[in-house]
Structure 1
Amino acid sequence: MSTVVKPARILTGITTTGTPHLGNYAGAIGPAIAATQAGDAEYFFFLADYHALIKCQEPERVEHSRLEVAATWLALGLDPQRVCFYRQSDIPEIPELTWLLTCVTAKGLMNRAHAYKAAVQENVDSGDADADKGVTMGLFSYPILMAADILMFNATRVPVGKDQVQHLEMARDIAQRFNYLFGAEFFALPEAVVDEDAAVLAGLDGRKMSKSYNNTIPLFVPAKELKKLVSRIVTNSQMPGEPKDPDSSTLFQLYQAFASPVETAAIRQRYAEGIGWGDMKTVLFEKLDSVLAGPRERYAELIANPAAIERTLQEGAEKARTIAAPFMRELRSAVGLRRLG
C-alpha cells in the first residue's frame, strides 16, 4: 500500500508595528515570496497584530502598520491565490487555542523565555526592587500565543531568526504535553527553519538596519526621498581612485541584496578600481529605484484602496477558518468542552 505524503506546511508571522524597510525585504519578504513561487508546499502568511499589542499601545500605529505591511507583501508579489494570507485577529480560534495551551504550559517553561529573562535582568541591573517591573502578561506568555499560531494549522516548518528558535522548541514542548495529556496526536511537532545565509543589511549609520536604531530606509519612499536617504549612508574617508573593500561597505552590501550575481561582480571590480563614494551612491540609488519602481506604484495603489486589502484579508481568513474551526471543535471535545446532549 502506497503512503500519501502530505506537502510541507510552512507558516510565517509578520509583526505589524512599523513600516517595512530594505532590511525586511532582503532578509525575509523577498526570499519568502520567491519560495512560494518555486515550491509545492502549503504556505500560511499572517499579520501578527495580536503580537503587536505586546509592545505597542498606540492604536493608530498598529492600524496603519497593518495596512502598510499587507500592502507591502501584496505589492512585492505575494499571490493570495497561492497562499493563505490572513490577519491573526480575524481567527477567533487562535486566542481560544492560546487559552487551552496556557492551561497545560508550566510557568517554569515561560520563566526561561529569552525576552522575559532579558526584561528581568534589565530590572536587576538597574537595582530595581521589583524584578518584574514593566513585565506584562502579554510579554511573559507570548510564546504560548506563538505556539497557538503554529499549532492551529499544524505547521510543519516555521522560518525564524536565531533569536526565535527557543520559541519553536517551546511550541514543540507544549504540543507534546497537550498530546500526552489528552491521549492523541492532535498536534504535529513543528521544525524551525533558520536561513543561515539570510541577508542582514546595515542601515544609514552602519549598524544593523532596525527601527529601534532609527537608521532604516523604507521600501517605498518616493524616488526623491530614496535618493536623499542613500546620500546619507555613512562611508569612510577613502578618496576616489583608492581601492576599497566591498565586504566592509554598507553601500556594496545594499547593492548586492538587490542586484544579480553578474552585476554584483562588476561592482566588486569597480571597488578594486577605486570607485568614489559619490559615484557608488548614484549606482546604488539607480539599482534600488529600478527594482522598487514597479512595486512602489502598486503599493501606492493598494494604500489608496484599503477596502481591496480588507477583502483580500477576509478571503484569507475564510480560507484559514475552514481549517481552524473544525480543528477547534475537535480540541474542545478533547479537553471536555462538549455539548451536554
Structure 2
Amino acid sequence: MSKTTVLTGITTTGTPHLGNYVGAIRPAIEASRDPNVDACYFLADFHALIKCQDPERVQQSRREIAATWLALGLDTDNATFYRQSDIPEIPELTWLLTCVCAKGLMNRAHAYKAAVAENETDDKKDPDAGITMGLYSYPVLMAADILMFNANKVPVGRDQIQHIEMARDIAARFNHLFKSEFFNLPEAVVDDKVAILSGLDGRKMSKSYNNTIPLFTPEKKLLKLVRKIKTNSLEPGEPKDPETCTLFQIYSAFASGDDVSQMRQRYAEGIGWGEAKNMLFEHLNEQLKGPREEYERLINDPAHVEQVMQAGAEKARERSVPFLKQLRDAVGLAPFV
C-alpha cells in the first residue's frame, strides 16, 4: 500500500509558543510516527523573507523551531525534516510554475487583496504601495513547496485553503500544457477539532498580538506569564464558567480527560483564580520539563541540529533532484546530448 504524503511548512519568523504546539506541532509529530504516512515537514525560511528583513530574527527563529520540533520527539527516520532554503529545486520549480500561472489568479490572492484594500483605505495614490513581488507571488512558491513532493494532503487553517486551491489550479495547468500527469492535485485538510488557544489577553494566542506563552520559556518566566493571564473579577467561592476561561482552555489542551473533569468540578465549586493559575503552571511545567531540557541541550549544540537538517535536506533532494530533471525535460530544458 502506498503511503499518503502529508506536507507542512513552518514559517520562521517567531518563537514557538503553546498555541503553535497544540494547533500544529503536536498533531504533526504524532503523524511523523505513523508508518502509513510519508510526512514532509520544512522550515519555510524563504517565506519568512516576505515579511521579515531582520536576518538575526530569521536565523534565530530557524534554530529555535528546528530545536523545538526535535526536542518534542519528531521522528526524523520516518519523516523528512528540512529547510526550504536547502532545496534549490524548489525556487527553480517556482519559476517553472510562475511561467504557467495566470496573473489574474495572483490578483485574487487574499493577502494581496488585503494589502491593496489597506492602501486604498489610507488614500494612497498607488494601490500597490509597499507591496513586494514576494508578497504578490508567494502563492506560487507555496505551490512549488507542495508540488515538489507531490503532497496528497496539506494541513492548513481555513485562511490558507485558497492557496491549496491555487496550487491545484497551477498543477492542473502545467499538466495540461505539457501533456502528462506530473503533479497530484493536493487536498487541503482542515481539522476543526484542533484547539486554538487564547493568549494572555483572551484573544487568539499570536505573536502579532504579543500575547503568547513561549513553549520553552524558563520555569520562573512561565509562572510570571501564567499569572498574567486575564481573568474576570469573580471572587473565590463563586462558581466560574470554564467555557469562557483562558486558564481552563489551556489546561484542557495539556491535561488528561480525568484531570479536566476534576478541574471543571473545581470551577463549579468556585476555585480562586490564584489557585487556578498555580495549578495550570504546575501542570504545564511538569509536561514541558523534559522537552525543555532537551531543547536547551539542542539549542546549545547547533552543530548537531545542523547535521540533522543537512541529513533531512539530503533525504528531500533524493526526491527533488530527479523529479526536477523530469520537469526540465518536459518544458524543453533537457541537455543537448
Normalising to structure 2: TM-score of the pair? 0.99
Aligned mates of 1:37, 1:325 — CA distance in 2: 26
Match of 2:267 in 1: 271
RMSD of aligned Cα (Å): 0.7
For residue 105 of structure 2, the aligned residue among 105, 109, 118 is: 109
Give the match for residue 44 of structure 1.
40
Find out whether 1:162 has 2:158 as its counterpart.
Answer: yes
Q: Residue 60 of structure 1 aligns with which residue?
A: 56
C-alpha distance in structure 2 between counterparts of 1:187 and 1:105, whole Å: 15
Q: Distance in 1 between the 2:27 and 2:255 partners?
A: 14
Distance in 2 between the 1:142 and 1:45 partners? 18
8 Å CA contact retained: 2:5, 2:150: yes
Corresponding residue for residue 239 of structure 1: 235
Name the residue aligned to 1:139: 135
Residue 302 of structure 1 aligns to which amino acid in structure 2? L
Q: Which moved more, 1:26-35 or 1:116-125?
A: 26-35
1:91 aligned partner, one-letter code: I
Identity %: 67
Q: Does 1:209 align with 2:205?
A: yes
Gaps of 5+ in 2: none
| Alignment partner of 2:77 out of 71, 77, 81 | 81
Find runs of 4+ consecutive structure 1 residues off by over 6 angstroms.
Answer: none
Give the conservation status (yes or no) of the 8 Å contact 2:239–2:268: yes
Q: 2:309 aligns with which of 292, 310, 313?
A: 313
Deviation at residue 197 of structure 1 after TM alignment: 1.0
State how far apart, in whole Å, the 2-side matches of 1:209 and 1:231 are.
16
Residues 1-341 of structure 1: matches in 2 within 5 Å? 5-38=1-34, 40-341=36-337
**Distance between the aligned counterparts of 2:304 and 2:274, measured in 1?**
41
CA shift digits 1:278-315 (9 cap, x unpaired): 00000000000000000000000000000100000000
CA contact (8 A) 2:155 2:189 kept: yes
Question: Is contact 2:31-2:39 (8 Å) kept?
Answer: no
Query: 1:220 deviation in Å?
Result: 0.5
3-state SS of the aligned residue for 1:240? coil
Distance 1:175 1:26 in 2: 32
Aligned residues: 337
Render the CA deviation track for 1:101-152: whole Å, top value 9, x for unaligned: 0000000000000000000000011111110011000000000000000000
- Alignment-mate amino acid for residue 213 of structure 2: I
Letter in structure 2 aligned against 1:261: G
The aligned amino acid for 2:318 is: T
Quick check: 2:94–2:144 contact (8 Å CA) kept in 1? Answer: yes
Cα distance per residue 1:191-246 (max 9 Å; x no partner) = 00001111111111111111011110000011111000001111000000000000
Gapped regions of structure 1 (runs ≥ 5): none
Distance in 1, matches of 2:40 and 2:114, equals: 30
Q: Partners in 1 of 2:35 and 2:256 — Cα distance?
A: 21
SS at match of 2:270: coil
Report deviation, 1:58.
Answer: 0.4
Return the offset for 1:32: 1.2
Secondary structure at the aligned position of 1:155 is classed as coil
CA contact (8 A) 2:6 2:39 kept: yes
CA distance in 2, matches of 1:328, 1:32: 27
Instruction: Write the letter of the residue equivalent to 1:148.
Output: A
Q: Distance in 2 between matches of 1:9 and 1:100?
A: 22
Aligned counterparts of 1:74 and 1:102: Cα–Cα separation in 2: 34
Q: Tell me the amino acid that sits aligned with residue 246 of structure 2.
A: T
Q: Within 2, Cα distance between the matches of 1:161 and 1:150? A: 16
Q: Tell me the amino acid that sits aligned with residue 179 of structure 1.
A: N
- Corresponding letter in the other structure for 1:325: V
Query: Could you tell me whether the CA contact under 8 Å between 2:31 and 2:37 is conserved in 1?
Result: no
Secondary structure of 1:192 counterpart: strand
Q: What is the CA-CA distance between 1:82 and the residue it aligns to?
A: 1.4
